[in-house]
Structure 1
């Protein structure tokens, strides 16, 4: 029995700090089963990233609310700034602008497309007076919608023609004639004509192709 105990004590190192014991430990850890279980550099990096994200959303005392709110605000602000640089400054709502505008002495909130459709219906029914009036209004509103010419309260047809000519100089005479046709049927009780209406339609189509980089004309 004593002999067996002597063998056991001889197999177990008595001093773990001895060079021989340390070498045995290194040899043991070098075995394949230990090396395969060793974390890779990717495991270490992933754990570091996970710990960092967890620290952000936990915040002091483990409350994620304030930190999460801050992250959401920063993301939204970044999206707004990006949209500003990509799309430019948003324009004012054109409908709200129209609601505050007197169009040649009458309140009118219709869009250019609506006015064109009204003019075409009047022309189809042979009401050339209304067709001329509505088509001229469509021209004015179309340029106002594009912020090329601003129509303000008190603007007359002649005023509008003068302002529009500043951004479409090639159409100066046609604009002057268009304003005259509008004034004749609107204020002088002159009968409208199909020719006058078709001239306004053609002018409207040409003005839709005008591209001007200058700000809206207001005076």
Structure 2
């Protein structure tokens, strides 16, 4: 049991059993439990610090005032509130931060800094296509495709991911589009690295795939695919 839970369990048991320790005795009971060597290696977490403050509050609550003890119902209510606070702390500090991780991984896209959203990349690709700059239009539209999958939490593109690697990661959530994903990735590599001229037809293929994926529900619930 974690130190935070131990404090609540020890003091909660005291209240529920109807015992009436003074402040010092309640603290000694909690300290005795936490003196177990299993806790010595643990560094205090925000949850532990909150639990310690709650434990002090409950111990103070259980201490009689002017010779008149508190009602057991009040003590039980305090324990319930304390447990609720600990649960809230766990939810706040313990839940995964997928969005945060996604923002960090998105600082680079296919080896280059890229902070634009999928919508912004699509707009830039359309502008390049309007100027018949097919090389730029293909590169930007494939980047938009990748960023769109990231934003939806379907596929991640951490630093080091290649266009071909991203296409392979898209095979599982979009099996019916697997071949077209590979074709779009090759189009990106051809114009970006092999210096082959882009064409309106190849741009249309990438743009059409991006539009379809944006409207398609993946095979499984959105979840970042890392392998």
TM-score (norm 2): 0.56
Select the residue among 115, 138, 163 that pairs with 1:132: 138
Q: How does 1:21-60 map to 2 (within 5 A)?
A: none
Instruction: Report how far residue 164 of structure 1 moved.
Output: 0.6
State the partner residue of 1:23: none
Alpha-carbon offset, residue 203 of structure 1:
0.4
CA gap of 1:89–1:156, structure 2 versus 1, over 3 A, is: closer
SS of 1:191's partner is: coil
| Corresponding residue number in structure 2 for 1:146 | 152
Q: How many residues align?
A: 148
Q: How much has 1:210 moved relative to structure 2?
A: 2.4
Q: 2:99 aligns with which of 92, 97, 101?
A: 92
* Aligned 8 A contact 2:153 2:222 in 1: no
2-structure distance, mates of 1:156, 1:133: 13
- Report the alpha carbon displacement of residue 206 of structure 1 after superposing the two structures with TM: 1.1
- Runs of 4+ more than 6 Å apart: none
- Secondary structure of residue in 2 paired with 1:166: coil
**Structure 1, unaligned runs of 5 or more:** 1-59, 61-69
In the TM superposition, what is the alpha-carbon distance from 1:108 to its structure 2 partner?
Answer: 1.0
1:164 aligns with 2:185: no
1:84-142 Cα offsets, whole Å, 9 max, x none, are 9xxx977424544423xx21121111111111111011001110000000000000111
1:207 aligned residue: 213
2:192 corresponds to which of 186, 200, 207: 186
Coordinate RMSD, CA, aligned: 3.2
Higher relative contact order (CA 8 A, sep 6+): 2
- Taking the aligned partners of 1:111 and 1:95, their CA distance within structure 2 comes to 11
Structure index of larger Rg: 1
